[in-house]
Amino acid sequence: MKREDNIYFGAGPAALPTDVLATAAQALQNYDNTGLGLAEHSHRSSIATNIMNSLKADLSNFLDIPSSYEILVMQGGGSAQFDATVYNLVWSSKASQEAIRLLGPEHVNIAADAKKANDGKFGKIPDESTWKLSKKAAMTVDGVEWPSFPISLEPKGSDDDPIVVGDFSSTILSRRIPIEKFSIIFFGAQKNLGSTGITVVIVKKSLLPPVTAASSPATLRKLGLPIAPTTLDYSVIAKNDSLYNTLSIFDVYIADEVLKKSLESFPDKVDGQQAVAEKKAKLLYETLDAYPEVYKVVPDKSVRSRMNACFRVTKGGNVDDAEKAFLAGAVAKGLTGLKGHRSVGGIRASNYNAIPESGVQKLAAYLKEFATA
């Protein structure tokens, strides 16, 4: 299949903008006429420092990140951050399992379990009145998309304000985030920012203590508390401008090229990108909702993700057969990557920023054609 004939709806790694890939392919072979490709240049070179600084400046600009926050570029994906946040602070299903593994169940309070509240399936956010918040609660998101910041976690400017961790792996760069309400925001680059291999952490500078006697490994060991591996220690990464050890500068470059293109396309920055994301999601959900006998959207209407439309195909009554036929017909039209997550099945159309409106229009036309055939 030719690249231009393929609209890829995979959940991540996601498709990258074709023009960014063309620039990156050149940079991979010979960056800026240096006779060496970017994957070969040292992470200690001024080239690497300039690319890192440019990424941080462009991300800050696009998302309006306050100067009281530090941007870290790390490795290990969102999964490593499930551990890093536990080590660097203390706190969704997989992350809480990591917390239990690292700290013991007595130190982990699950304020709300979206699965338990919805008969074992993700699809709803439990009502805030049912949450059991501990005094210094920490949280993240799981599966569905929060339409807005939860009222119970609003900071009040007191010492008891909750520590709030946001996992924005799926939605970063697609909506405005009230950054000051979060202690830490993290996301892997491979969905909306760039290629697989780098993870961005936006952390409140006040949470980056210098290593003192009170937080030294010796003290932590004496108290029986876990000691962060150096490569997951936010203070170490911050002090070394995210270049503590060898980082893929090529991936940092791709992410920055995506940001430069976004800044060029949207003078009102993330708000402009958000308007497009909402338009694409609206078309998808309106088309799915128009055929209730054929498609069943999984999450509740109030928390439907704009980035990941999960639905079942029920045409004819046999869901397995209907979904197989749906997927085969889609592939024949160049609509690929639509198979749902291996653990839950169904269909998942990931509608990330690199998918043009015309790509979603093509999927909507197929949804209509399949439903009415």
Residue from 27, 70, 78, 353 that binds ligand PLP (CB under 6 A)?
78
270-289 and 357-372 helices, crossing angle to 10° = 10
167 binds ligand PLP (CB under 6 A): yes
79 binds ligand PLP (CB under 6 A): yes
CA distances from 351 to 199, 222, 315 (A): 20, 48, 23
150 binds ligand PLP (CB under 6 A): no
305 binds ligand PLP (CB under 6 A): no
Q: Which is nearer to ligand PLP, 140 or 262 (CB)?
A: 140
DSSP characters for 100-113? Answer: HHHH-GGG------
Q: Which is nearer to ligand PLP, 47 or 112 (CB)?
A: 112
340 binds ligand PLP (CB under 6 A): no
Q: Which is nearer to ligand PLP, 14 or 52 (CB)?
A: 14
Residue 347 CB partners (closer than 8 Å, separation 6+): 310, 311, 312, 313, 323, 326, 327, 338, 339, 340
Nearest approach, Cβ of residue 189 and ligand PLP (Å): 9
Give 188's strand partners.
199
Longest dimension (CA), the chain: 71
77 binds ligand PLP (CB under 6 A): yes
DSSP 339: B
Residue 174 CB partners (closer than 8 Å, separation 6+): 192, 270, 273, 274, 277, 306, 307, 352, 353
Residue nearest to ligand PLP (CB): 77
CA distance between the termini of the chain: 26
User: Three-state SS for 74?
Assistant: strand
What the block records as the tokens of 68 is 């009281």
- Of 74-82, 210-218, 273-281, 328-336, which part binds ligand PLP (CB under 6 A)? 74-82
17 binds ligand PLP (CB under 6 A): no
188 binds ligand PLP (CB under 6 A): yes
170 binds ligand PLP (CB under 6 A): yes
Nearest approach, Cβ of residue 74 and ligand PLP (Å): 11
Q: Which is nearer to ligand PLP, 299 or 370 (CB)?
A: 299
Q: Which is nearer to ligand PLP, 47 or 198 (CB)?
A: 198
Nearest approach, Cβ of residue 131 and ligand PLP (Å): 20
Nearest to 152 by CA among 179, 175, 134: 134
Q: If you count them, how many residues does the chain have?
A: 373
Footprint on residues 204-263 left by ligand PLP (CB under 6 A): none
162, 138 in Cβ contact below 8 A?
Answer: yes
- Of 164-172, 209-217, 232-240, 284-292, which part binds ligand PLP (CB under 6 A)? 164-172
Nearest approach, Cβ of residue 348 and ligand PLP (Å): 11
Sign of CA dihedral 229, 232, 238, 244: positive
Q: Which is nearer to ligand PLP, 88 or 170 (CB)?
A: 170
Give 297's strand partners.
311
197 binds ligand PLP (CB under 6 A): no
169 binds ligand PLP (CB under 6 A): yes
Q: Which is nearer to ligand PLP, 77 or 194 (CB)?
A: 77
Q: Is the peptide bond before 229 cis (omega within 30 degrees of 0)?
A: no
Q: Which is nearer to ligand PLP, 77 or 123 (CB)?
A: 77
What the block records as the tokens of 312 is 């079942």
Q: Which is nearer to ligand PLP, 199 or 274 (CB)?
A: 199
83 binds ligand PLP (CB under 6 A): no
In the complex, which residues of this chain contact ligand PLP (CB under 6 A)?
12, 77-79, 167, 169-170, 188
